[in-house]
Amino acid sequence: MISGLLLACGNPDTQARDEYLIRVRDNAVTVIEFQRAVELAKAAYPHSALQDSDVLKALQKRVLRELVERTIFEERAKDLNITVSPEDVDKALQEVKKDFPEGTFEETLLEQAVSYPSWEEGLKTRLMIEKVVNRDLVSNIVITTDEIETYYRNHRQELETSRPEGVAASVDETIIRNLRRQKAEEAYEGYVHKLHETYPVEINTEKWQRIFGSG
């Protein structure tokens, strides 16, 4: 939440600092970058909805939160030496395209008024965040034998019927994967809160109030 951030006083020491809307260490998001992200987010809304100032303000707040989180994760990724390779992007792209009929993925982006470069940048951000969360959170989750047995008792029929015929997949592996995902989801909010403490966020309140007040 915005109230949970370390807010900058809006008293710029230099002209460059005054251009920042969000800053985490030396990683800054400018007003122009924020405005571009808002325009991209608007593509998911009917034009009529965006005439409502409350809807627009809610969208601006959401984009601000997302950019703050992205910037924090970028700094965490630097500290962990985590990068997203072209191979990572290509693999994820092929997975996404599986859900679309041949040749319709790009058409869908055009219909939603989203450029491919913008979509790809969003994909890179998602992959980066996933890598950081897996390193920091998922890999450190401990699953006990008792938890595996309890999960199996509660989901036995589902586990047995969902296993593809002829595939000797380990039920235990499936259970552990599901439990890790469940525990990660439950711990995520607290994990992000700790990241905020580790990587304090500065918001240029003067610029934010000017943006938010004009919405």
Residue 5 in this model has a pLDDT that exceeds 50: no
CA-based nearest residue to 5, from 21, 16, 17, 26: 21
Per cent of the chain over pLDDT 70 is 87
User: What does the pLDDT look like over 67-87, one tens digit per residue?
Assistant: 999 999 999 999 999 999 999
Who contacts 57 (Cβ-Cβ below 8 Å, separation ≥6)?
A: 212, 215
Question: What is the three-class DSSP state of 163?
Answer: coil
Domain count, the chain: 1
CA-based nearest residue to 131, from 62, 166, 172, 85: 85
pLDDT (0 to 100) of residue 8: 39
Map 51-96 to HEC letters: HCHHHHHHHHHHHHHHHHHHHHHHHHHHHCCCCCCHHHHHHHHHHH
Tokens representing residue 57 in the block: 């303000």
pTM for the model stands at 0.80
Positive or negative torsion for Cα 45, 23, 20, 128: negative
CATH of the domain at 140: 1.10.4030.10
pLDDT (average), residues 151-155: 88
Comparing 112 with 49, which gets the higher pLDDT?
A: 49
- H or E stretch including 21? strand 20-24
Q: Residue 40: which pLDDT band, with cuts at 50, 70 and 90?
A: confident
Q: For residue 180, what are the domain limits?
A: 2-213
